[in-house]
Amino acid sequence: MIAISHPFTLDTFGIIGTTSDTQKVYLDRVNSVLSTMVYKRPMRTEYGTDMARALYESGDDYYLAITEAITRAMTLYLPDITIVSLTIKDANSIGQASVELLMSFPDDTVATTVIKTAALLSDGTNSGEIY
């Protein structure tokens, strides 16, 4: 399997960077889906996750919203990848939280990725963003 490598690169000859590392290809696909907010992709507005809505939830609703958003996106756009575990770490003092996702790929390899989030500060400024 060969795919365009992320982040997107061009070498000095103008050739697009590619990778044949199967695990990197799958992780790039996961990160693409999970880092894209719904309604942000032209011509395919339903693509991505609505994890941002979880930032407005509290308590158990926060955990449920993140879990549902990730599970929905993975089921719709990456059905060949199985979620083994999803661990949500509580936000720190400046509103940053993280989600650790352990996945099994079709070739039976297992990998982990971490999605980090940040919330709005009390004065309305952003302490960060989902990345």
Length of the chain: 131
**Domains of the chain: which residue ranges?**
3-117
pLDDT in tens, 15-27: 999 999 999 999 9
Determine contact, residues 115/103, Cβ cutoff 8 Å: no
Enumerate residues 6+ apart whose C-beta is below 8 A from 25: 1, 3, 19
pLDDT in tens, 98-121: 899 999 999 999 999 998 876 555
The three state secondary structure string of 14-77 is CCECEECCHHHHHHHHHHHHHHCECCCCCCCCCCCECHHHHHHCCCHHHHHHHHHHHHHHHHHH
pTM (2 d.p.): 0.78
Q: Which CATH number fits domain 3-117: 3.10.450.40, 3.40.190.10, 3.40.50.1970, 3.30.70.20?
A: 3.10.450.40
Does residue 80 have a pLDDT over 90? yes
